[in-house]
Amino acid sequence: MSFTNIFDTQKWDETKNAIYNKTSADVEKALLARRRTLADFKALISPAAAPYLEEMAQLSSQITQKRFGKTVQLFAPMYLSNECQNICTYCGFSFNNRIKRKTLTESEILQEVKEVKWQGFDHILLVTGEANHTVHVDYFIKAIQIIKPHFSNISIEVQPLEEEDYGKLKQEGLHSVLVYQETYHQEKYKDYHPKGKKSNFKYRLETPDRIGKAGLHKIGLGVLLGLEDWRTDSFFCAMHLHYLEQTYWQTKFSLSFPRIRPAEGVVPAEQSINDKELVQLICAYRLWNEEVELSMSTRESESFRDNIFKLGITTMSAGSKTNPGGYSVKEESLEQFEISDERTAKQVAEIISSKNYEPVWKDWDRTFQ
């Protein structure tokens, strides 16, 4: 049994139609519900919910405060490698892009650690492409061993691994694994991922199951917003989360909201998600699931980020570099995506404090394996 069994019973077009046929009556029912179901979530992400945005934001803000308090957890991504055997038509690291490839050595990792630590971070996210011959589980084990003495909380966002490998990394002190399905539209997925191990849709779809079975503390899910209809994709993601929560009840979950902007030219403009819609999506997730962590990266603009944490976001990266070695070297030509919010971590923390929220740097301890 894995999520595939549930996924295969769902039809994309039917789901999409159901979302687009939701009415304001459905939205109002969802807003008033004591416990909101996946059907309510459908209503809240539907076009019919757009006029209720302020009401959703108010509710989302209250619910988030109740659970998470007036706090924002900060973390830094650290890119270990941009080597990649996959072709992902939207990604800067794509195999067919002629960029300089780099995988950090042990001493380079240590240099990066110093820089990130110096900014105040205690939670770190390690990121790579997919290059199984060089950036494999033994590489990750080594990286975690180097990083562990310096950070309380380590997450990874790398290629999907086997359950056994996740188990090994957990033993080394890994806390969480982020793996985004990108899109739950199986055929479109094939178009966007024509080559490499990543082109196997089902293997990726079942990755959170393998992470759950290995007993990691947290699993991060997400959709690359803009690859397909964001509403339908997000509904599938919510369904995935719901299944995982019921199956791996000892695991925590987080959701991220990476979006492709129309200017990047890789996706049709009508599928892109605008600011208002992104706020609607964030609030809809919060209204439906009070406990899930909602995470926001520096892809988003300063003004968007400065306002969004009051509406439901609980976790943010800051001062990010998205190229391997980016914190300790000046060269920035190898970025995975362009950073929109370029402020330092300290500046972002000051903004959070100025809005009467507390920036939290440490919320885990190595004691807990």
Given a contact cutoff of 8 angstroms between Cβ atoms, the answer to whether 171 and 135 are in contact is: no
Nearest by Cα to 182 from 97, 88, 79: 88
**Contact with another protein (CB under 8 A) among 128, 152, 155, 315:** 152
User: How many angstroms from the chain centroid is the CA of residue 339?
Assistant: 15
DSSP string, 50-82: GGGHHHHHHHHHHHHHHHH-SEEEEEEEEE-B-
**Contact with another protein (CB under 8 A) among 112, 115, 122, 228:** 122
Judged by CB, which is closer to another protein: 117, or 142?
117
How many residues appear in the chain? 369
Span from 16-24, 166-174, 311-319, 361-369 in contact with another protein (CB under 8 A): 361-369
Judged by CB, which is closer to another protein: 16, or 117?
117
Span from 68-76, 138-146, 258-266, 298-306 in contact with another protein (CB under 8 A): 68-76
> CB neighbours of 85 closer than 8 A, spacing ≥ 6?
95, 129, 130, 131, 132, 196, 197
Task: By CB under 8 A, tell whether 363 contacts another protein.
Answer: yes
**Contact with another protein (CB under 8 A) among 39, 252, 264, 329:** 252
Q: Give the position of tokens 């603009």.
A: 301
Which DSSP symbol is given to 338?
A: -
Nearest by Cα to 293 from 214, 226, 369, 360: 360
Q: What is the C-alpha to C-alpha distance for residues 234 and 257, in angstroms, rounded to an integer?
A: 10
Judged by CB, which is closer to another protein: 21, or 369?
369
**Contact with another protein (CB under 8 A) among 2, 24, 65, 328:** 65
Task: By CB under 8 A, tell whether 250 contacts another protein.
Answer: yes
Task: By CB under 8 A, tell whether 353 contacts another protein.
Answer: yes
Task: By CB under 8 A, tell whether 365 contacts another protein.
Answer: yes
Nearest by Cα to 104 from 135, 137, 144: 135
Given a contact cutoff of 8 angstroms between Cβ atoms, the answer to whether 194 and 89 are in contact is: yes
Task: By CB under 8 A, tell whether 120 contacts another protein.
Answer: yes
Task: By CB under 8 A, tell whether 357 contacts another protein.
Answer: yes
Task: By CB under 8 A, tell whether 360 contacts another protein.
Answer: yes
Span from 37-45, 125-133, 205-213, 248-256 in contact with another protein (CB under 8 A): 248-256
Q: What is the C-alpha to C-alpha distance for residues 302 and 316, in angstroms, rounded to an integer?
A: 12
Q: What is the C-alpha to C-alpha distance for residues 188 and 175, in angstroms, rounded to an integer?
A: 32
**Contact with another protein (CB under 8 A) among 108, 163, 165, 245:** 245
Judged by CB, which is closer to another protein: 107, or 367?
367
Q: Given CA atoms 284, 184, 158, 161 in this order, what sign does their dihedral have?
A: positive
Span from 17-25, 69-77, 159-167, 183-191 in contact with another protein (CB under 8 A): 69-77
User: How many angstroms from the chain centroid is the CA of residue 251?
Assistant: 16
**Contact with another protein (CB under 8 A) among 9, 249, 263, 265:** 249
Element (H, E) at 360: strand 358-360
How many of the other CB atoms lie within 10 Å of CB of 173? 18
The residues in 167-226 that bind another protein, with binding defined as CB under 8 A, are: 217
**Contact with another protein (CB under 8 A) among 54, 138, 291, 350:** 291
**Contact with another protein (CB under 8 A) among 11, 21, 23, 67:** 67
Q: C-beta of 364: minimal distance to another protein in Å?
A: 5
| Residue numbers at the binding site for another protein (CB under 8 A) | 65-71, 120, 122, 152, 217, 245, 249-252, 291, 353, 356-358, 360-365, 367-369
